[in-house]
């Protein structure tokens, strides 16, 4: 790699605000807040609203919209125009 043109790639902790789950990974993201991890080291903390731990698609809480029922509801309400 060419020196001096790449961003700093370092360990950071991402924390899901809705579940409280945190995981250590590497990223170029930076933060002024820090957290002490279980290994005794201090890492930058990045808080996020949604992760795979809380997203409805991955947790199985996803709702399926009934498109055919919506069309029938529209036709009942407004009728069919020709």
3 domain-assigned: no
Residue 42, domain extent? 10-78
The pLDDT, as a whole number, for residue 26 is: 96
38 domain-assigned: yes
1 domain-assigned: no
55 domain-assigned: yes
How does pLDDT run across 42-64, given as a tens digit for each residue? 999 999 888 877 766 656 666 66
Total domains, the chain: 1
CA–CA gap between residue 25 and residue 70 (Å, rounded): 43
CA–CA gap between residue 21 and residue 5 (Å, rounded): 33
Q: 49, 80 in Cβ contact below 8 A?
A: no
How does pLDDT run across 4-37, given as a tens digit for each residue? 899 989 999 999 988 888 999 999 999 999 999 9
CA–CA gap between residue 26 and residue 48 (Å, rounded): 15
The pLDDT, as a whole number, for residue 66 is: 65
Tell which wins on pLDDT, 72 or 58.
72
């Amino acid at each position: 790699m060419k020196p001096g043109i790449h961003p700093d790639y370092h360990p950071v902790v991402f924390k899901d605000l809705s579940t409280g789950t945190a995981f250590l990974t590497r990223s170029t993201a930076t933060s002024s807040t820090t957290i002490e991890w279980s290994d005794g080291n201090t890492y930058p903390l990045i808080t996020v609203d949604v992760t795979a731990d809380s997203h409805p698609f991955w947790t199985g809480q996803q709702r399926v919209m009934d498109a055919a029922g919506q069309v029938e509801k529209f036709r009942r309400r407004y009728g069919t125009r020709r």
